[in-house]
Amino acid sequence: MVEDLISEIGINSRGGLFVMPATKAFPYTYREAMEVSWDPASAVLYGPAPREWSYANCFRQIRAAALEQGTLLVIGPHTRWRDVPDDLRAEIEKVAEVR
């Protein structure tokens, strides 16, 4: 397993959470059947807008899908946050600490 820093975490225009890895691409994430997709145009993993899951659970699922592809996504000190409220950021950072 390799680690990749997360460049950016945000909420897209459809209300879904996205995670932009610093170096890795995940074109085959759909094979994991985890409701996580890869957008090659913006180089992000994303999930659907929350229905039954919270954003924190969506983040957990995105990380799990990347882990199935052999990569642990890690939040670093230079990770950018786009349209993520402070309380949600704190919740996601707490989830990210658990390995």
Task: Count Cβ atoms within 10 A of the Cβ of residue 73 and give its class: 0-12 exposed, 13-18 middle, 19 or more buried.
Answer: buried
The superfamily (CATH) of domain 2-97 is: Integron cassette protein (2.20.20.40)
- Rounded to two decimals, the pTM is 0.92
What's the pLDDT tens digit per position in 18-57? 999 999 999 999 888 888 999 999 999 998 777 777 899 9
Overall average pLDDT of the 51-70 stretch: 91
DSSP state string for 59-86: HHHHHHHHHHTTEEEEEEEEEEEES--H
**Domain residue spans in the chain?**
2-97
